[in-house]
Structure 1
Amino acid sequence: MDKLVERFLRYVSYDTQSDGAVQHCPSTEGQRVLAKQLYQELLELELIDVTLDNNGYLSAKLPSNVTHLVPAIGFIAHMDTAPDASGRNVKPQVIENYQGGDIALGTSQEVLSPTQYPDLNNLHGQSLITTDGTTLLGADNKAGIAEIITAIAYLKQNPSIQHGDICIGFTPDEEIGRGANLFDVDKFGAQWAYTIDGGPVGELEYENFNATTATVICHGVNVHPGTAKNKMINSMNIAAQFQRLMPSDQTPETTEGYEGFYHLKSMSPSVARTELSYIVRDFDRQGLQQRKDFMQQKVDELNSQLDKGHVELKLTDSYFNMREMVEPHPHIIELAKHAMLECNVQPNIKPIRGGTDGARLSFMGLPCPNIFTGGYNFHGIHEFISIDGMQQAVQVIVKLAENTAKSTQ
């Protein structure tokens, strides 16, 4: 455990933001730099089958230390951080024995406040790692990497803890939806796995959104504004009309639990052409299809009202709810629940209001629920993590390895 925080602070110093505008893999060179560093660390731990491929996928194995047959299990985390906030020059600050109240984030004038983030009220007495208010932290998902490696090191140092083959996988480009694209499930070798990519202590998730990306393209005509009368068609005005047709009570900021949403994530405006990028989410496949149909209806409705200009819709499915692939294997969830309980962690089974590599991997033949890291407020400058929670994640990983071996005796 003494190396856990040291590892985490070292990993967040690498700028590994992924970039959805880049088509090659990994999408950014910083991910490859971190992967090479992790590759050396896994070799130093004397793991076997340590490989780093040309696409930035890193894998290794801790071999079984028992004579009886034990299913190989895996632990997976991603190396990239989200494009939503800068991941360059991260300056974490450690708050020992937090006693409540606001936390000043460096000299940025930003504050981490329990008024805005009530979860802080449950963390009194714990030690926290925050940002300095200018970047994200990178706990999503470098905390998962640090926790997995620390757990593997602990198992190496304590050979009396019995375990089967433990497969490790670190992926690139998860945050832009490509983390599983080039993942070799057969080569990985696990019968099932867990992504260590969740939030607060206790999270155990095997449901996630069905996800679609929707691109609404509004076409207009650009003419010099001095001679534009009856000629110019401003596509930005068309885009505004379309957005007004979308339900304002079905957005991320107005929904929770199992409620789906439409999220206008970004736009590229100009007079001649404006592109609106939405993510569309629903836990039910039929519900997702209804949302896609609704968007097409609104496009058709707007086109019928326009005298000039037109709108088109492009839909691309991203991933589906892993529940249908995990539920046929209930022992995977039961092992995780019991491991948490034995580590004095109360399991909090809840749906992921997003996706993980595990969602895609589950449909590729590797059932893969998600387990907590101890982190909060991912993807933004108010991201932070509990060191106590990180330690509990390590304990759960170790206990999962141990209990999997025990379950086959």
Structure 2
Amino acid sequence: MISDYDFSVASRFLKYVTVDTQSDPNADRFPSTEKQKDLSRILVNELQQMGVADAQLDEHGYVYATIPGNTDKKVPVICFCSHVDTAPDCSGTGVKPIVHKNFDGKDIVLPDDPSQVISIRQHSYLKKRIGDDIITASGTTLLGADDKAGVAIIMDLANYLVTHPEVKHGDIKILFTPDEEVGRGVEEVDLKKLGADFGYTLDGGKRGTYTDETFSANGVTVTFFGISAHPGYAKGKLVNAMKVAGTFLDLLPKDSFSPENTEEREGFVHPVQMEGTVEKAVVQFIIRDFDTSMLKLHEKRLEQFAKQATGRYDGSTYTFESREQYRNMKDVLKDYPQIGEYVKEAMKRSEVDFRQDSARGGTDGSRLSFMGLPCPDIFTGEMAFHSKQEYVSVQDMQKSVEVLVNLVQVWEEKGELLPVV
């Protein structure tokens, strides 16, 4: 355990969440919003003030930094990564964080919107956090713990390592990314510049969770074409593409095949956006499953519904386009069991119960793993993300910092002594 250390993770987090870093899924630039760099500049400045001399922000919004190793052993270079952006699902402007000290288990009523109530009944994990200091937003915005908790944890790790040179470790790389929430987080990352062998994202939830498996993901665009005609003289001529699309959506099962009706290892098909006119209607889908081979089966079933829909409207047609988004990191990480074994040992030293988990979503680590940087995920304590009821435990964040301190030492201990010159 870390003793006699004044953790800075909470104070850093309270500062970071007040910076609006919401990303924009409809933008055609990278990063999708310039305001994400506002936080990145703060992080670079803080790292440099710590003595991390090479901390820098590039034109794409990535923060790169190195904490040089202090060991005589040959140790793999480890990267810790978090994203600075917050989700577009809920406002991230004007976040007012509130610390609820020594949480007593009673309902937390958020003051700026008393209809927003965080209760143990709806958030069962809070039962385990009674006595902790819980941070929430004020009721009109998300909090931003996803993933500013991860950012703050990595920053406190950097602070600890710089101020405790007696802790032996190899080279540590830090990477902060933009646009993770809109699926583009590592689109422009320079892995050669990063120079890491293995990585860990800090973007997980409950204390003790280690995530080495994610969904595999595709995006699908189904476009329906109709026939336009003057509505006053349209009989027998007009075919409304929006009605075809509506029929298509109505054919989707009501009790399966969708995120609201699936759990655990079940995949799903989910319409996320629709727009149209009489002549053309476009429906965007995300397709998810842990088994990558199932994606094509889900798509085949979805296309059957498109065929059925157009079959009911003479003259209508459709196109069906699929694109890869990310893949299950397990397909890569299974070849590197030590990555998880070392986390398990680090959690043991930190007196944390290790729990291997699968994420019903994706992280930057999903794509990084397939780009050549095996990269599972470690807990931060962030919960109820993308919502006004988002919260995080200060003690969870502190425990995550402790796990990382122990983790870099485990990697160092497993290294090989360099030959004496």
TM beyond 0.5: yes
Residue 293 of structure 1 and its aligned partner are, at CA, apart by 1.7
Partner of 1:136: 142
Partner of 1:86: 91
Contact 1:102 1:111 (C-alpha < 8 Å) held by counterparts:
yes
Contact 1:11 1:142 (C-alpha < 8 Å) held by counterparts:
yes
Distance 1:241 1:332, change over 3 A: same
Distance 2:124 2:235 in 1: 54
SS of the equivalent of 1:375 reads coil
Partner of 1:185: 191
Where does structure 2 lack aligned partners over 5 or more consecutive residues? Answer: 1-5, 417-421
Residue 308 of structure 1 and its aligned partner are, at CA, apart by 3.1
Contact 1:63 1:166 (C-alpha < 8 Å) held by counterparts:
yes
Partner of 2:3: none
Contact 1:70 1:405 (C-alpha < 8 Å) held by counterparts:
yes
Partner of 1:312: 319
Partner of 1:119: 125
Deviates more, 1:363-372 or 1:289-298: 289-298
Distance 1:110 1:396 in 2: 33
Distance 1:221 1:90, change over 3 A: farther
Distance 2:227 2:44 in 1: 53
Is 2:69 aligned against 1:64? yes
Counterpart code for 1:157: T
Partner of 1:339: 346
What does 1:161-200 correspond to in 2, within 5 Å?
A: 161-200=167-206
SS of the equivalent of 1:367 reads coil
SS of the equivalent of 1:59 reads strand
Residue 224 of structure 1 and its aligned partner are, at CA, apart by 5.2
Partner of 2:362: 355
SS of the equivalent of 1:145 reads helix
Residue 269 of structure 1 and its aligned partner are, at CA, apart by 4.1
- Corresponding residue to 1:33 among 25, 29, 38: 38
Distance 2:208 2:228 in 1: 55
Partner of 1:3: 8
Partner of 1:251: 258
C-alpha distance after superposition, 1:338-393 (max 9, x if no partner): 11121111111111110011111111110000011101011111111111111111
SS of the equivalent of 2:61 reads coil
Residue 221 of structure 1 and its aligned partner are, at CA, apart by 4.0
Partner of 2:337: 330
Distance 1:37 1:78 in 2: 14
Partner of 2:270: 263
Residue 405 of structure 1 and its aligned partner are, at CA, apart by 0.7
Residue 233 of structure 1 and its aligned partner are, at CA, apart by 2.8
Contact 1:18 1:82 (C-alpha < 8 Å) held by counterparts:
yes
Distance 1:104 1:225, change over 3 A: farther
Distance 2:18 2:35 in 1: 10
Deviates more, 1:57-66 or 1:288-297: 288-297
Residue 223 of structure 1 and its aligned partner are, at CA, apart by 4.7
What does 1:198-347 correspond to in 2, within 5 Å?
A: 198-223=204-229, 225-248=231-254, 249-347=256-354
Partner of 1:384: 391
Identical amino acids, percent of aligned pairs: 42
Contact 1:48 1:63 (C-alpha < 8 Å) held by counterparts:
no
Which TM-score applies when normalising by structure 1? Answer: 0.96
Where does structure 1 lack aligned partners over 5 or more consecutive residues? Answer: none
Counterpart code for 2:413: K
Distance 1:101 1:62 in 2: 42
SS of the equivalent of 2:41 reads helix
Residue 228 of structure 1 and its aligned partner are, at CA, apart by 4.1
- Corresponding residue to 1:364 among 339, 363, 371: 371
Residue 130 of structure 1 and its aligned partner are, at CA, apart by 0.9
Residue 286 of structure 1 and its aligned partner are, at CA, apart by 1.1
Deviating 4+ runs (over 6 angstroms): none
Distance 1:234 1:397, change over 3 A: same
Distance 1:265 1:387, change over 3 A: same
Distance 1:372 1:46 in 2: 27
Partner of 2:55: 50
Distance 1:380 1:311 in 2: 35
Contact 1:203 1:372 (C-alpha < 8 Å) held by counterparts:
yes
Partner of 1:95: 100
SS of the equivalent of 2:248 reads helix
Is 2:155 aligned against 1:149? yes
Residue 230 of structure 1 and its aligned partner are, at CA, apart by 3.5
Which TM-score applies when normalising by structure 2? Answer: 0.93
Distance 2:308 2:231 in 1: 28
Is 2:394 aligned against 1:393? no
Distance 2:397 2:228 in 1: 55
Partner of 2:164: 158
Contact 2:51 2:162 (C-alpha < 8 Å) held by counterparts:
no
Distance 1:283 1:139 in 2: 26
Counterpart code for 2:116: E
Contact 1:302 1:311 (C-alpha < 8 Å) held by counterparts:
no
Counterpart code for 2:286: I
SS of the equivalent of 1:47 reads coil
SS of the equivalent of 1:298 reads helix
Distance 1:240 1:322 in 2: 35
Q: How many residues align?
A: 409
Deviates more, 1:362-371 or 1:239-248: 239-248
Counterpart code for 1:35: S
Contact 1:52 1:59 (C-alpha < 8 Å) held by counterparts:
yes
